[in-house]
């Protein structure tokens, strides 16, 4: 399995000019990486090395409890919204009576 992933990555043109998310998407590893970063950090690090991500970035990426800062922010916003009573949340459209 690892060999297939490695060979797939080797065939991607312009890898160095891509963001980490673009590299994961182009390689078809987005879902597998999301799983690995939560359950097998050594595998997640290996995937990022194959994608030619620098070591400092790898450590920052794998350190997060989720897959990205966006996920953490989204989860915090969801928690905040769930804690606000429904009658205090403004309706996006005025209700005409």
Instruction: Compare 67 and 74 and report the one with higher pLDDT.
Output: 74
94 lies in some domain: no
93 lies in some domain: no
96 lies in some domain: no
Q: Report the alpha-carbon distance of residue 80 to residue 77 in Å, rounded.
A: 5
- In degrees and rounded to multiples of 5, residue 52 shows phi and psi of 65, 40
What tokens were used for 65?
């409890």
Task: Give the pLDDT of residue 2.
Answer: 76
Task: Give the pLDDT of residue 92.
Answer: 65
pTM for the complete prediction?
Answer: 0.60
Residue that the structure tokens 């987005």 belong to = 30
Helix (H, G, I), strand (E, B) or coil at 21: helix
Residue that the structure tokens 């890898």 belong to = 15
Owning domain of residue 31: 2-86
91 lies in some domain: no
54 lies in some domain: yes
Tell me, rounded to whole angstroms, the distance of Cα 76 from its chain centroid.
16
Q: How many domains does the chain have?
A: 1
Task: Give the pLDDT of residue 45.
Answer: 92
Residue that the structure tokens 């939560």 belong to = 38
Task: Give the pLDDT of residue 55.
Answer: 92
């Amino acid at each position: 399995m690892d060999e297939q992933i490695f060979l797939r990555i080797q065939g991607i043109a312009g890898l160095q000019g891509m963001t980490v998310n673009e590299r994961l998407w182009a390689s078809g590893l987005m879902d597998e990486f999301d799983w690995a970063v939560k359950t097998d950090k050594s595998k997640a690090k290996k995937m990022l090395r194959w994608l030619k991500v620098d070591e400092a970035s790898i450590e920052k990426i794998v350190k997060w409890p989720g897959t990205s800062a966006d996920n953490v922010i989204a989860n915090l916003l969801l928690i905040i919204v769930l804690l606000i009573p429904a009658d205090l949340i403004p309706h996006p459209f005025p209700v005409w009576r």
